[in-house]
Amino acid sequence: MEIISGFTAAKARLARQVVLDFGKISPGSKETFGREMSPEEVVAKILSDVKTRGDTAVIDYTARFDRCRVSSLEVKAEQIKAAYNTIEPELLEAFRMASRRIRKFHQEQKELVWRGVEGKEWGQLVRPLDKVGLYAPGGTAALASTVLMIAIPPKVAGVKELILATPPGPDGSVPPLMLAAADIAGVDRVFAMGGAQAIGAMAYGTQSVPKVDKICGPGNSFVVLAKKAVFGQVDIDALQGPSEILVIADESAKAEYCAADLLAQAEHGQLSHAVLLTTSPRLAQEVRKELDQQSLLLPRQQIASESLKNNGVIVILDSIEEAIELANLFAPEHLELVVKNAETYLNRVQNAGCVFLGEYSTEPIGDYIAGPNHSLPTGGTARFSSPLNILDFMKIIDVVKMDRDGVQKLGPAAMLIARAEGLEGHARAIEKRLKS
């Protein structure tokens, strides 16, 4: 992992542009569709087929891409119930504990939402969405924790129906832990389908899959492109990119902790980012040694090592203030402040998905059980977007409440503006109230 020094060099090294680039040719497109196609063309073809042929298209693409044929897309209730019998009780209790904490955190968010218009000239109505589609990666890398994170906020917000799409395994079934997590989180229906075809099914509706108002959840490049393509037909949460972490550490930090947290993100994938900003040259050298040693113990060592080689960097800086300035420019998904008196620096953080304070606030705790959502902005989008939260599943309806005095006070100015814009009908509608 490269070590560099100085603010200017670090600023150049960490500079990035948010670009969704999935290549010119989609691997396997010729074998599947008879000609070479770009990923965007593949997704457009799949979405068009799903829109036209519904369930049949989804089942056909599941057979092609997931190498299994399902007779029915929806997972039966008895299968979900049976899933509990195959999971260790301790693991189930861990998921229930995580569910309780995630629900409590988002319930507190809900209590901050303002409602009502009584006694005011204006106000807001807050209404939950009717139907939300959730997408969780499955197959060999089933992320059951993601199900909790993307399902509980809309449930707390009051969404009437939640459906989950997740890819089936080779035998055509959804992993039991995914089914149990969905049930614990309050998902109403589960469908064994993945990829762009699942996004299309939820966006357009099929014979068995209901059309939803919003789709959220992470996925591979085809899922991301499909979400981008259906936006406008439905709402989406975000276009999630590779995972990333930025750790700010001073001389008090433990090298083994810093290295472990960097590796925890690096093992996600070869495109993950792992960055350490430190004021201690000694710590920089020790962390690099720890990375080499600890990575040998990881089953995903090759992935983590490739990630650190391509997108990992250790930066030596003169001050924590410089580090925070760089962090705000980078706008990381996860930001760890492993420094003395970490909370005193919190008010300087402007751009981050989630901040972890102190050496014991390791990022993986946030991934699973702390309570705040782990569905966070990536790729620098923390500059303008937020973690998944209950407001993502609510719509706000503005309310105006005028009486005669209000119209007499505000009407003349409104009429002047209307006539300046050439909209005489607007002015006359107000004028009629003033004359009455």
pLDDT at 116: 54
Which residue type, as a one-letter code, is found at position 273?
Answer: H
Least trusted range by pLDDT, from 70-74, 116-120, 299-303: 116-120
Could you say which of 236, 253, 288 is where a domain stops? 236
The reply to whether 82 and 219 lie within a common domain is yes
Gap between the Cα atoms of 17 and 222, Å rounded: 21
The reply to whether 256 and 179 lie within a common domain is no
Residue 102 belongs to what domain range? 77-236
- 269-281 average pLDDT score: 95
The reply to whether 193 and 257 lie within a common domain is no
Provide the strand spans (E) within 154-213. 161-166, 189-192
| Per-state percent for the chain, helix, strand, coil, to nearest 5 | 50, 15, 35
pLDDT at 138: 79
The reply to whether 210 and 310 lie within a common domain is no
What six digits make up the tokens of 201?
A: 């099914």
214 occurs within a structural domain = yes
> 60: Cβ–Cβ under 8 A, 6 or more apart, which residues?
49, 53
- Convert the pLDDT of each residue in 55-79 to its tens digit: 999 999 999 998 898 989 999 999 9
281 occurs within a structural domain = yes
pLDDT at 122: 78
The model carries a pTM of: 0.91
Q: Give catalytic status of residue 333 as yes or no.
A: yes
Gap between the Cα atoms of 28 and 33, Å rounded: 8
pLDDT at 19: 52
- Structure confidence at residue 15 as a pLDDT band (50, 70, 90): confident
Could you say which of 184, 210, 236 is where a domain stops? 236
pLDDT at 37: 86
The reply to whether 267 and 185 lie within a common domain is no
> 273: Cβ–Cβ under 8 A, 6 or more apart, which residues?
242, 243, 244, 245, 246, 265, 307, 311, 312, 332
The reply to whether 273 and 158 lie within a common domain is no
- Structure confidence at residue 114 as a pLDDT band (50, 70, 90): low
The reply to whether 293 and 329 lie within a common domain is yes
What value does the mean pLDDT of the chain take? Answer: 93
pLDDT at residue 112 above 80? no
pLDDT at residue 427 above 60? yes
**CATH number of the domain within which 304 lies:** 3.40.50.1980
The reply to whether 295 and 349 lie within a common domain is yes
Residue closest to 43 by CA, chosen among 224, 206, 263, 170? 224
- Convert the pLDDT of each residue in 142-170 to its tens digit: 789 999 999 999 999 999 999 999 999 88
pLDDT over 70 percentage in the chain: 94
The reply to whether 217 and 106 lie within a common domain is yes
Could you say which of 183, 203, 236 is where a domain stops? 236
216 occurs within a structural domain = yes
- Structure confidence at residue 24 as a pLDDT band (50, 70, 90): low
pLDDT at 74: 97
pLDDT at 49: 97
The reply to whether 128 and 263 lie within a common domain is no
Catalytic pick among 40, 325, 333, 336: 333
Gap between the Cα atoms of 184 and 154, Å rounded: 14
pLDDT at residue 200 above 80? yes
Catalytic pick among 268, 334, 336, 363: 334
- Convert the pLDDT of each residue in 235-266 to its tens digit: 999 998 889 999 999 999 999 999 999 999 99
pLDDT at 117: 54
- Convert the pLDDT of each residue in 308-322 to its tens digit: 999 999 999 999 999
pLDDT at 124: 79
